[in-house]
Amino acid sequence: MKNYPFVVFVIFFYSISFGQNVSFNPEKDFLDFEENLKTKIITPTYRIQVENKEIRFEDFFISFSELDDSLKIYINNDTLNIYKLITQNIVEFEKQQVDYANSLLEVNYYQELNILMFLVHFYPCTGLGCGVNYQIMYHTGSKKMFAFGRFRIGFDMELYDYNDDKLYYLSKSFNGRNIQGIDKIKYELFPIDFKLNELHPLKETFAEIVTDENENRIVSFKEHWIE
């Protein structure tokens, strides 16, 4: 017990040295982090919940393939083969091919950015499959696509602006639930550049939340984020 204060000091010094804000009030700090994220969201020109097989707005006519077919999204005269894409982020331990999805849930259009985003999933889903969804980003000028995925992390689909002349996608990666019911989720920011073939998250910028699902509480939260 005599060494306890020293151990606490070492842990605190280690976290400060590496620029990480390790929370002593994880519930509050995580809520503050989430509220700050909301202030960075870019509002789309259109946010459309898909209720029919056909969507029309501006000069766009959008539809998608039948549920029993590999997912394709049709935009005017173009066909997007969504199922061939590989996610840029880690979804659950690894990147995934978007061949699981067969249905379209939401369409966001960012007119000034020339970007369409599609939220896709599998329908009708069963079990853990209901927690899987993918976000497809499509540039209407270059006709290039990137895919991101989520597992058990919700169905939100947003782009972010941190006032640094860059466009970001917020990735949330599920890093597993152990037998004690402890979940670990990692947040990362991916700068979006349609001139690239592969995207990478910002180095040394992340947040990590650990939750106890049995007790429905946040065990720990740490972040090293953009101010």
**Distance separating alpha carbons of residues 52 and 74, to the nearest angstrom:** 14
Residues 6+ apart with CB under 8 A from 55: 48, 61, 62, 63, 107
- Give the three-state DSSP class for 97: strand
pLDDT of residue 175: 75
Could you give phi then psi for residue 21, rounded to 5 degrees? Answer: -95, 95
**Distance separating alpha carbons of residues 153 and 183, to the nearest angstrom:** 11
Please, where are the H alpha helices in 39-177?
none
**Distance separating alpha carbons of residues 18 and 54, to the nearest angstrom:** 50
**Distance separating alpha carbons of residues 184 and 218, to the nearest angstrom:** 10
pLDDT of residue 144: 96
**Distance separating alpha carbons of residues 176 and 170, to the nearest angstrom:** 19
Q: What is the pLDDT along the chain (227 residues), one digit of tens a residue?
A: 444 443 333 334 334 333 456 667 999 999 999 999 999 999 999 999 999 889 999 999 999 998 878 899 999 999 999 999 999 999 988 899 999 898 999 999 999 999 999 999 988 887 777 878 999 999 999 999 999 999 878 888 999 999 998 999 999 998 766 556 688 899 999 999 999 999 999 999 999 999 887 777 899 999 999 97
pLDDT of residue 21: 65
Q: CB atoms < 10 A from the CB of 81, how many? A: 13
Q: What count of residues does the chain have?
A: 227
What are the beta bridge partners of residue 119? 106, 135
Evaluate whether 137 touches 81 at the Cβ level (below 8 Å).
no
End-to-end CA distance of the chain, in Å?
38
